[in-house]
Structure 1
Amino acid sequence: MGGVEDLRPLRVLGYGRAFDIAAPTQLARIARRLCELASAPDRGTPFSLTFYVSVDGEVAGADLNFAGRIVFDAAGNPAETRALTAEEVRPTAEQWRRELTDHPRSPEHVPSWWQAIADGDDGAYEPSMPSWFGGPMPQSLDEAAAQAKLLVPKFEGLLHFVGYAAIADELVRSIHATARTLRLGELDAIFGRRGRGAQEAAQARLAATAVGTITPLLAERTAAERDEMIRAWHGHSRDDGPDTTMTSDEQLRVAVTRVAERIVARRFGTLPKNWHVV
């Protein structure tokens, strides 16, 4: 596209393995021909193609991309999950403008991001937030508070234990009340607007602070409830169990904080593991 041709390696997947091999050069000729055949005066020409084939050879084809922006960094690495400056992003704004000149299309087939570049935008790239349980990832305090669930299914069973059931409502209130006191930069991190690494750290801080405000509720738990809460967390998380060098109070605080982190993640959203880290 835009006068530039890039033949990416073939990614081989299967049996727990993944590796790349060089694509045969004749694939570029096939891709050019497919683009020609798929071109139409109103919708233009596809500017990227993805070929796929199954291991048994019975399923094969090509996905033709007419509208989804492709993004690489200056080193040529796929970068759809990273924020890039105009100088870093590839294809460049000029290449996108040239593509639209070389292969015109009717206005209704020009995506808004592409039209902005055609109108003079510098082409800097900011990734869109991924979806979250079938809807947009929360991006405001009200949206986070409106989430119907407290935990992902893996951890929902924790709420059936008396100790967690007794503190859940107050813990959730504390989480949202604490979040409303935070500065904008910290909220940006919590909502994932500064990358996955920043989000994980900020959400952990929010959970720890919220647990600190309900310490009196933790002290009210009976010895049996405390023991059950500790065991329940480690059982659900499938880790190595509580640190026996800690006191019972410390073990309980750790367990409840980990549960709080999961509540924060479910309510405020979690970026995918391949998202850029800041």
Structure 2
Amino acid sequence: MAEAGRLLGPHDDWVTARFIVAEVGSMGTMVSRFTRADGSLGSMRVRGQFQDLWEQLREVMADPERGAWFSASLDVDRASGSSSFSYNWDGRVWFDRLIPDLDPSDVDLALPLDEAWGEELARHPRSPEHVPAWLRALVAGEVTERQPGDGAAVERAIAAAPTWPPARASLASSARWSEVFDAVSEEIVRALRADTPATELLHSEVDDRALEQVAAAATGPLLRRFVHDTASCAALAAELDTPNGPDRAEDDVTDAITDIVDWQIARRFDQ
């Protein structure tokens, strides 16, 4: 709750807020929105610590018979000061459907990938009576499997020389940011070499959603290394072209790292 309060802190017009997290195998997403008095929605930047807390909660709640929940939500009401958690243990999750302000025409029932559900059961086994019928059918192969490809695009991406995004090119002369740049390259290569549903799909086709999952897998360790460390984060923020001050250091450094990750992945796959 304390971290949720920190996320809401910069927004003085919120009335209610909802935080939703979903995790299936190695794939996951988080959606954070607040409602204003006029009914409009606002979004919040999710800090790495908050995501870590959800992951820890999920592992603590995992049960040898029931497995782990697929999605969970935290609802907060400002007027009453109340909050409540809810958990989905059995219903199939589609990441796009968790986004309340996404245009229905943009909803894509692609993630999590079918393969992620098999991975989920391997990570958090369930006794037969706790495996929903739809999940049993999915892992039994009743859903059409993707055909494996030769992985040429992935190998080219791994071998490609990384470059700086034009908007962040001025950071290339900084020793601190050069360290970040090199770490970004290493994490992207590590994420591309990992055996995950996203990389499995990329061996068949260059899919935007799979690239987003690779970016997320690479970004997590980078934020823990460079943003969660207060001293490191402050030093990096001070070297940005337009720093917003100590209070926004985490946001500024996160934005810059995200820009570098997104650019490198896009250029590696010529997107």
TM-score (norm 1): 0.38
Bigger Rg, which one: 1
Higher strand fraction: Structure 1 or Structure 2?
A: 2
